[in-house]
A and B are shown apart, each in its own frame.
Chain A
């Protein structure tokens, strides 16, 4: 596109006057000039060949990165506590290929709905290797999960009733866990999920389960929040959970086999309104592992090593994902800022709501940086990917690579006025493979039914 522009005459660029400044005053040296980043390839596959073969926009995942990250995380935890299992959080990214990588690395599945449960089973995960969370589980879903030996985590009292009915119907005792909500010293406190610990509701739930006689409480689950930047919160959480477990043992003779501390570990992405770059503001995985193992060490009785499940999602996949987009046009806004229109916007980037993405271009750009907006292709005012970044003039056709985008985007993307693009996985041998094809019209149409009397162009 841009290469077709005749060289004889350069494009007209409207003159711009900007105040000369020595860069933003900070001690990290991230001046607008040095902050410019160029990415010509992902894991050795050039951006050019990727877009040529698979189009733009394009989601790209790095298998090397995913495997490296999960191994690092496993090492961080397993070298500190001897009985840890990771459960891959499907909602973060449930493409089959991504799920399969995590399962190959030894993770079991963590699902929060019947749809996700079916997806895991379809992939070949046995029921016993699935943790079934979430506030909405139909009776049919509960029955299926119970029959297949899934680890069902109860969210509310009504679900206890439902599961007891299922147990009666199946004529067997169903092992279950309950989800706890508790004060781990952080804000906001997620209290709408599970049974509250401090108010005594959790103990009531355990009593209720014991009295019912159809369920067997074997696990405790808790998920304190998302993008939790305070490692100490997890320490508090696990200590409270273990103490509660021992209390159940003493009062109700319930033996807890496992503790599930949920997820919520942050990725190395910059939240909006944060000043520090993530390398500084986000604690290392080792720090979380150290705090959690400290909590375990403090609370567990000597010689007691119950199983610990970690449902980390975002921290394991976010940085392995890139979105390649193309600058399709630019314009000057009345307030003097430059606006670039990309072929992907908030329709594909749900996390744009709170992340300030890392912006890279496929080529060196000449010229001074100027305040610029990155807009998406939607006909809506809110379609903004970045509303204030310093970019030099960017010619049409420049590829803009946004990262990290691995978490939540390919599960929460919208089919709003645009087709959803292809997703490519770059293997450890640097081979790009399509793991989800780009959509076309048939994807929209194959569930639709047009009643006969509404068909157009019918011979009358």
Chain B
């Protein structure tokens, strides 16, 4: 049993190498691709031998399995093997040549991958393959012996059965795996179409744009369409249109521009390379894609995909839901007070939050529309006056001013704009500044370490402050008056709604929230813990499923079944699920029932979320939605809203995008000690069978 498991993992890695060439991670697709390459047995076997040699060598030198499993480090070896097999028939001598080249391309892959990612923040793509295959082809000129026993006549392309423009496409596609035949091309495109519609469409677009442009330059359309090297256009379109950039119209424009440039580059490379007797391979693709990617990352192009998933569809789904659900860039602050306060001025406020000081917030306490009782002539009339100011972050106090007087209401101190203040340096290196403390009210000293919620002092009216209020900003340096930087507030209540991350609008009444210990205990999942559930589907069938808490090599925690993984994380106020891998409908059910669990109970508190398509939609509609969203990110959004019905009981609704919106009811019952007792979405539900082991 164990032996079998290991075996299958080995094979998976091999097949992943095949699918990786089309930027996919699917062992089934890889297997099919591998089988198709066997049409030319020489090419097929050589590829297999080369990738196996690379894999065995990698294991021999002790590369960890988790890195190897993806096929990421071995697909260059595969390409090299295929390219040599395309040139020489299988003989003991050519086998030796293939094995050497395979191992070398693995070594070069790892080295280039590391150098590129370290110095350039770029992938090495198939550059190792271009280098090794070029070397192999050059070296082979002097290997007369190999030519004598190993040369063979590759399969002839069968006579034209399709129009030239169609045939050209399939041939180019086949050429990517050194099988430039119409039939193999058709088979490859079927495999791609089954796994990713986005990749297939990008391949089509890249090919026709590139080939047409070349044809126009050349003046010979037929030969342009039938140029085998057109696969470079296909690869560029896929890589920039959907893999390294998130699929979206803007990415397609960039991919199109890149393909257009590649037509020129390809012609130049072809000419130069062929003078040395070697094919262009994927060199144009590598040069164009890497240079574009480098520049796009440099200018912080927003659609650069920072997490590349198993297919563009998954990357897109992930990107959209992460963009809607998490702000992964801005530093996070807690609100610097306790209880309900009101936003007086936000970012880009109309009075003082302007220009380089635009990223700041002011808070007052407001009741029935007024910030003070009586006529507001005295400081004591103001509700905010002398109320505690709490630390918005953990860090170290690096600057304090505490001696300025509180102004009479309506007057300001123009000499000392920032008034009595505290500057905190956070653990992540941000400088957080809080202003207008009451005279001599600051309780901390320079050098003190503080936690979120530590009492810093009392709200006052010192500095440029006409009424008592708290001012907060993140600034570029420790100097008073430095320019401000954007940030977000975490974990607060706005009109009974829990906001995990956000910027409250002006005049909103907001209250910071703190996680409750009881909820922390109820979600304290420990690795290897198992939970047994009885799963009831809509037709009343039941099956037992076991959920196990695990950790990925990248230190991400997940709940797993043999069919998939549901990744979860936690922040200061919530436990949240953020990614679904594999194809387990019950993990998808958990995701759609509870994308985020606030770690605190407030009667009738509600919250909203956006779900990835993978979590909330099943069957063909999922594919359709993914395709729709590849054109328009805003279409087909899945909305989730939930509220505390009682302590331990959450009820909500999932709205699936359709012409007539469909609503599915949700109920989650927490277990009094740990985890979930029951999770229901529509008619399907999971029921806990026993306690955690």
Contact status of A83 and B340, CB under 8 A, knowing A129-B647, A149-B647, A257-B521: no
- Cα A77 to Cα B521 with chains together (Å): 26
User: Is A128 touching B646 in the complex (CB atoms < 8 A)?
Assistant: yes
| 30 A–B pairs (Cβ distance < 8 Å), ordered by A | A75-B339, A75-B340, A77-B339, A78-B340, A79-B337, A79-B338, A79-B340, A79-B341, A79-B388, A80-B339, A80-B387, A82-B512, A82-B514, A83-B514, A108-B603, A126-B647, A128-B646, A128-B647, A129-B646, A129-B647, A149-B646, A173-B672, A173-B673, A255-B521, A256-B517, A258-B518, A302-B450, A302-B451, A303-B394, A305-B514
- Give the residue name and chain of the B residue nearest to A173 (CB): B673
Q: Which of A79, A173, A303 has the most CB of B within 10 A?
A: A79
- Cα A83 to Cα B599 with chains together (Å): 13
- Cα A257 to Cα B514 with chains together (Å): 13
User: Is A128 touching B648 in the complex (CB atoms < 8 A)?
Assistant: yes
A258 CB to closest chain B CB (Å) equals: 8
- Cα A56 to Cα B454 with chains together (Å): 54
B511 on the A face (CB < 8 A): yes
- Give the residue name and chain of the B residue nearest to A79 (CB): B339
User: Interface readout for B429-469 with A: 1 if CB under 8 Å, 0 if not?
Assistant: 00000000000000000000011111100000000000000
B365 on the A face (CB < 8 A): yes
A106 on the B face (CB < 8 A): yes
Q: B511 — which chain A residues lie within 8 A by C-beta?
A: 78
- Give the residue name and chain of the B residue nearest to A72 (CB): B367
B580 on the A face (CB < 8 A): no
Given contacts A82-B514, A297-B455, 12 further A-B contacts (CB under 8 A): A75-B339, A75-B365, A78-B511, A79-B337, A126-B646, A173-B673, A216-B673, A256-B517, A302-B450, A303-B394, A303-B453, A307-B516
B43 on the A face (CB < 8 A): no
- Cα A7 to Cα B435 with chains together (Å): 71
User: Interface readout for A250-272 with B: 1 if CB under 8 Å, 0 if not?
Assistant: 00000111100000000000000
Q: A305 — which chain B residues lie within 8 A by C-beta?
A: 453, 514
B664 CB to closest chain A CB (Å) equals: 24
- Cα A156 to Cα B606 with chains together (Å): 39
User: Is B648 touching A82 in the complex (CB atoms < 8 A)?
Assistant: no
Q: A149 — which chain B residues lie within 8 A by C-beta?
A: 646-648, 672
B461 CB to closest chain A CB (Å) equals: 17
User: Interface readout for A261-296 with B: 1 if CB under 8 Å, 0 if not?
Assistant: 000000000000000000000000000000001000
Q: A218 — which chain B residues lie within 8 A by C-beta?
A: 518
Main DSSP-derived SS at the A contact region:
loop
- Cα A77 to Cα B673 with chains together (Å): 30
B390 on the A face (CB < 8 A): yes
Sorted from nearest, which 5 A-B pairs have the closest CB atoms? A78-B339, A303-B451, A79-B339, A128-B647, A302-B451
Q: How many B residues, CB 8 Å from partner?
A: 31
- Give the residue name and chain of the B residue nearest to A127 (CB): B646
User: Interface readout for A129-145 with B: 1 if CB under 8 Å, 0 if not?
Assistant: 10000000000000000
User: Is B647 touching A81 in the complex (CB atoms < 8 A)?
Assistant: no
- Cα A149 to Cα B518 with chains together (Å): 14
- Cα A257 to Cα B520 with chains together (Å): 10
Q: Which of B188-220 contact A (CB under 8 A)?
A: none
- Give the residue name and chain of the B residue nearest to A77 (CB): B339
User: Is B517 touching A82 in the complex (CB atoms < 8 A)?
Assistant: no
Residues of chain A having any CB pair with chain B under 8 Å: 74-75, 77-83, 106, 108, 126, 128-129, 149, 172-173, 175, 216, 218, 255-258, 293, 297, 302-303, 305-307
B403 CB to closest chain A CB (Å) equals: 23
| Contact among B339, B341, B603, B672 with A129 in the assembled complex (CB-CB below 8 Å) | B603
- Give the residue name and chain of the A residue nearest to B645 (CB): A126
Q: Which of B370-387 contact A (CB under 8 A)?
A: 383, 387
Q: B646 — which chain A residues lie within 8 A by C-beta?
A: 126, 128-129, 149
A51 CB to closest chain B CB (Å) equals: 32
- Cα A149 to Cα B646 with chains together (Å): 10
Q: B339 — which chain A residues lie within 8 A by C-beta?
A: 74-75, 77-80, 82
- Cα A81 to Cα B452 with chains together (Å): 13
B355 CB to closest chain A CB (Å) equals: 32
A67 CB to closest chain B CB (Å) equals: 12
User: Is A257 touching B518 in the complex (CB atoms < 8 A)?
Assistant: yes
Q: Which of B338, B450, B511, B512 has the most CB of A within 10 A?
A: B338
- Give the residue name and chain of the A residue nearest to B335 (CB): A82
Q: A257 — which chain B residues lie within 8 A by C-beta?
A: 516-518, 521
Q: Which of A82, A216, A255, A258 has the most CB of B within 10 A?
A: A82
- Give the residue name and chain of the B residue nearest to A219 (CB): B518
User: Is A79 touching B452 in the complex (CB atoms < 8 A)?
Assistant: no
- Cα A310 to Cα B450 with chains together (Å): 27
Q: A78 — which chain B residues lie within 8 A by C-beta?
A: 338-340, 511
Q: Which of B258-273 contact A (CB under 8 A)?
A: none
A297 CB to closest chain B CB (Å) equals: 6
Q: Which of B388, B511, B521 has the most CB of A within 10 A?
A: B388
A102 CB to closest chain B CB (Å) equals: 12
Q: B512 — which chain A residues lie within 8 A by C-beta?
A: 82
Contact status of A306 and B338, CB under 8 A, knowing A78-B511, A149-B648, A297-B455: no
- Cα A126 to Cα B648 with chains together (Å): 11
User: Is B452 touching A303 in the complex (CB atoms < 8 A)?
Assistant: yes
User: Is A106 touching B603 in the complex (CB atoms < 8 A)?
Assistant: yes
Q: Which of B348-399 contact A (CB under 8 A)?
A: 365, 383, 387-388, 390, 394
User: Is B365 touching A82 in the complex (CB atoms < 8 A)?
Assistant: no
B202 CB to closest chain A CB (Å) equals: 49
- Cα A74 to Cα B383 with chains together (Å): 13
Q: A128 — which chain B residues lie within 8 A by C-beta?
A: 646-648
- Cα A129 to Cα B603 with chains together (Å): 9
Q: B454 — which chain A residues lie within 8 A by C-beta?
A: 302-303
A231 CB to closest chain B CB (Å) equals: 16
- Cα A380 to Cα B451 with chains together (Å): 63
- Cα A149 to Cα B387 with chains together (Å): 36
Q: B672 — which chain A residues lie within 8 A by C-beta?
A: 149, 172-173, 175
Q: Which of B644-659 contact A (CB under 8 A)?
A: 646-648
- Cα A51 to Cα B311 with chains together (Å): 78
B146 CB to closest chain A CB (Å) equals: 70
User: Is A80 touching B516 in the complex (CB atoms < 8 A)?
Assistant: no
- Cα A75 to Cα B367 with chains together (Å): 11
Contact status of A83 and B516, CB under 8 A, knowing A78-B511, A128-B646, A149-B672: yes
Q: A108 — which chain B residues lie within 8 A by C-beta?
A: 603
Q: Which of B501-559 contact A (CB under 8 A)?
A: 511-514, 516-518, 521
